[in-house]
Chain A
Amino acid sequence: MTTANIHDWLNEHSDYLYRFALVRLRDPHQAEDVVQETFIAAIKSSSFADQSTPRTWLTGILKHKIIDVMRKSMREIAASDLMNDEDGNMDDFFDDTGHWLDTPQTWEMPDNALEQKQFLGVLQNCMDKLPTKLATLFLMRDVHETDNEEICKELNITTTNAWVMLYRARMGIRKCLEINWIGA
């Protein structure tokens, strides 16, 4: 790795890497930090193989750095808080007999570019409304597409805990989307 190389890479790929991190971490400062760490790791490493493109290789490093940040933010949430009910009591969604209180309506993502943009805006707002811990897990699994086993290992939770929390996150986002999209 030469200085010239790494500067070319910085020019060519840093914006892409920044956007990749931004959509997953949703925090500009954290995104900047992981991109910096990625370039530092890249320059220290000698493992770049010519069969991979620089962008693919750098993105691979970045993915690990993103997981590190997500893990840290999950650790800051006390383990006992992970499973408490205040943020997603499922009784809010079903009656005593297990039937939907509010029946899911018929809707889908619009094809039309402008409407789709609005739809994704609503989705974004709904994700922002999730409690931090659910949001982090949801980002890890459904946005970053981290393997479920890896999530459990990283966060030191059981697979059952992960399923329950992902269920709560998806229930919350779906309902929010339904109310705010159809209601719009």
Chain B
Amino acid sequence: MDCKQASQLISQSLDRRLSLRERLRLHYHTFICEACKRFGQHLHTLRVAIKRMNENVENDTNVTMPSETKARIAKSIESFVD
């Protein structure tokens, strides 16, 4: 396995369960290859960072929907209530 193949498997491990054979080969590769090991850590960091980014935005009470939009939504739901 070369680094190109290893990096592909590392990415895919985020999307599917790798086979036992794939996991063993990848494990062996990252054991001897510091660069691919770092790559794996970076993809993990990327996931954690995106989660953090989502939480930060979701909880940022300074970001609000424009009041005109709220008024528009209020008006549009009126028409669905008797």
Binding site for B on A (CB under 8 A): 1-3, 6-7, 10, 14-16, 18-20, 22-24, 31-32, 35-36, 39-40, 43-44, 90, 93-94, 97-100, 103-109, 116, 119-120, 123-124, 141-143, 148, 159, 162-163, 166-167, 170-171, 173-174, 177-178
- The reply to whether B73 and A10 contact each other, CB–CB distance below 8 Å, is yes
Query: Do A23 and B54 touch (CB < 8 A)?
Result: yes
Nearest-neighbour CB distance to chain B for A43, whole angstroms, equals 5
The answer to whether A99 and B3 touch across the interface, beta carbons within 8 angstroms, is: yes
A170 touches B80 (CB 8 A): no
Q: Which one of B11, B38, B49, B65 lies within 8 Å of A109 (CB-CB)?
A: B49
What size tier do the contact residues of chain B reach? 35 or more
Contacts A16-B58, A32-B66, A167-B8 given: A109-B47 contact, CB under 8 Å? no
Chain B residues with a Cβ under 8 A of chain A? 2-5, 7-8, 11-12, 14-16, 35-36, 38-39, 41-43, 45-50, 52-54, 56-61, 63-66, 69-70, 72-74, 76-78, 80-81
